[in-house]
Amino acid sequence: MESKPRLLTIIDAVSVTLLVVATGMVFFYAPMEAVMGQVQRVFYFHVAAGWVGMLGFLVAAVAGIVYLRTGRRNWDTIGLSAVEIGMVFAFINIVTGSIWARPIWNTWWTWDPRLTTATIMELIYAAYLMLRQGLEDPDRRARFGAVYAIVGFISVPLTFFSARLFRTIHPVVIGSNQPGAEGAFDMTPKMLQTFLFSLLTFSFIFVSLLWHRVRLGRLAEKVEQIKLKVAA
Amino acid sequence: MTQDLSIPETTTVRGESALGAFLRAMWAVVWKDLAAEMRSRELLSAMLVFALLVILIFNFALELDAKTRSTVTSGVLWVTFTFAGTLGLNRSMAIEKDRGCLDGLLLAPVDRAAIYFGKVLGNLIFMLVVEMIVLPVYSLLYNTNLFHPGLLLVILLGSVGYVVVGTLLASMAVQTRTRDVLLPILLFPVVIPLVIAAVKGSAGFLQALEIPEIMPWLNLLIVYDVIFTAVAFMVFDYVVEE
């Protein structure tokens, strides 16, 4: 078995350090938002988790395209790993959003376009995992997974636009707000720094997790091959 | 049927254009599906009876009185079409798989995309037939006039997108262990934008809204159809490859 690469160890250490610093920044460096109070602090990790979720699904779609073109199994492992990580972070995004929405919107859940899209996205990738589970032939599993990752990812923006044609109340912190958005605020420089730092932190965490998961996937493949050899 | 499948080969010998050969191969697949359906009638009858049952259930589930009807008709119609469509798509691909027909099709010296579009067209015809029967029945049962050219356009656009994605995903679903339950799970989250647009578009025409208010939904339907036709065209090869 290949030993753990030096670079991965460094990325692990950097991720943990960044996470500690980012948590500190969220609670002690960033000023308290005047209207919403403490609960606004969930925003930094909320958006960062959403960003990693989207990044995971994007990586899965790209890995799908590359797999279909090259047929190299490695890309299939990357695609599956990215989907799994993306699902976890998209879920964190939804949960933290609910925590924020309870006091601000006075409800845990509302059928806002972003919330709707996030839910449907989770369902798409749950279907992706179920599709893979129903297939034994690893080659076919990889091909079908790649196709569905591409089709699913393309449908996400369309879902968002179709849901957006219904009016939205979700605030747009970056860029212009639609009239009627509730819970909007402008970021002070310190807030912006904390926000960008959280994004950086979560990106590092994503890279570290993805790498670990791909290594695990390769090991699982090896075990499968050895099992076949023993059985034969 | 074997005669029909061999047509594309002879046409290339005669030196016809590639497009001509493509269309002939596609038509052969459509014709095969229609002929098989004319003889067995199992797919259409199943879809149709199922669609009517769904409407019947909605009648009790929603208390479709005159007031409710005006707002929920388009929703009821699209839920019915979506569910009946899944039934048809599953069956249409399962037949190919079970009787080894798909392998025969793949052995034919034609472009795989022609086979895909042949299946799409066949499924589209079945779906439109069911819709054209459900519409008058619904009009009759609930005493509302559904024959609005705009509504028919929305139904056509919606069905095209549904069948384009559905045929692709059904050909994947039938090759899995959990085939019968998997198709709706794969298909529904991906067609949600289409269903939203179709429901809102249909409701717009039924409530006689201004065209500029309905246009965004029609545009969305067209965009969906174009994007997914292109994507399915590109990836179908990988789905049937052995």
pLDDT, tens digit, 9 for 90 and up, residues A194-230: 999 999 999 999 999 999 999 999 998 899 889 989 9
What is the distance, to the nearest Å, from the Cα of residue B114 to the centroid of all Cα atoms in its chain?
17
Q: Which residues contact B220 (CB under 8 A, 6 or more apart)?
A: A158, A161, A162, A165, B193, B197
Query: Does A148 contact B177 at a Cβ distance shorter than 8 Å?
Result: no
Q: Contact, A197 vs A22, CB < 8 A?
A: yes
pTM value is: 0.88
- B87-128 pLDDT tens trace: 999 988 888 888 788 888 888 888 889 999 999 999 999 999
pLDDT at B15: 58
- A160-203 pLDDT tens trace: 888 887 655 566 666 666 656 777 777 888 889 999 999 999 99
Instruction: Search chain A and give the residue with CA nearest B218.
Output: A162
Query: Does B196 contact A147 at a Cβ distance shorter than 8 Å?
Result: no
Residues 193-212 in B contacting A (C-alpha not used; CB under 8 Å): 193, 196-197, 200
ipTM over 0.85: yes
- B196-208 pLDDT tens trace: 999 999 988 988 8
Q: How far apart are CA B50 and CA B58, in angstroms?
A: 12
In chain B, what is the greatest distance between 2 CA atoms, to the nearest angstrom? 63
Query: Does A135 contact B238 at a Cβ distance shorter than 8 Å?
Result: no
Minimal C-alpha gap between A43 and chain B (Å): 27
pLDDT higher than threshold 50 for residue A19? yes
Phi then psi for residue A37, to 5 deg, are 80, -150
Question: Residue A14: helix, strand or coil by DSSP?
Answer: helix
How many structural domains compose chain A? 1
For chain B, what percent of residues have pLDDT higher than 90? Answer: 52
Q: How far apart are CA B92 and CA B96, in angstroms?
A: 7
* Count of CB pairs separated by less than 8 Å, A with B: 89
For chain A, what percent of residues have pLDDT higher than 70? Answer: 93
Task: Considering only residues B207 and A11, tell me which one the structure prediction assigns the higher pLDDT.
Answer: A11
Closest in A134, A151, A159 to B192, CB measured: A159
B235 in contact with chain A, both atoms CB, cutoff 8 A:
yes
In a domain, A146, yes or no: yes
pLDDT higher than threshold 60 for residue B3? no
| Domain ranges, residue A60 | 42-171+193-231
- Confidence category of residue B10, pLDDT binned at 50, 70, 90: very low
Q: Contact, B33 vs B124, CB < 8 A?
A: no
- Confidence category of residue A88, pLDDT binned at 50, 70, 90: very high
Closest in A133, A150, A161 to B235, CB measured: A150
Q: How far apart are CA B60 and CA A166, in angstroms?
A: 28
Task: Considering only residues A119 and A113, tell me which one the structure prediction assigns the higher pLDDT.
Answer: A119
Minimal C-alpha gap between B195 and chain A (Å): 9
Q: How far apart are CA A111 and CA A117, in angstroms?
A: 9
Helix residue ranges per DSSP H, chain A:
6-24, 42-70, 73-104, 113-133, 138-164, 189-231
For chain A, list residues whose CB is within 8 angstroms of any CB belonging to chain B: 68, 120, 123-124, 127, 130-131, 133-136, 140, 143-144, 146-148, 150-152, 154-155, 158-159, 161-163, 165
pLDDT at B7: 46
Task: Considering only residues B2 and B197, tell me which one the structure prediction assigns the higher pLDDT.
Answer: B197
Report chain B residues whose CB lies below 8 A from the CB of A150: 231, 235
Spell out the domain ranges in chain B: 41-240
Q: What is the mean pLDDT of residues B174-179?
A: 88
Question: Which of A137, A155, A156 to mutate to test binding with chain B, by most B CBs within 10 Å of its CB?
Answer: A155
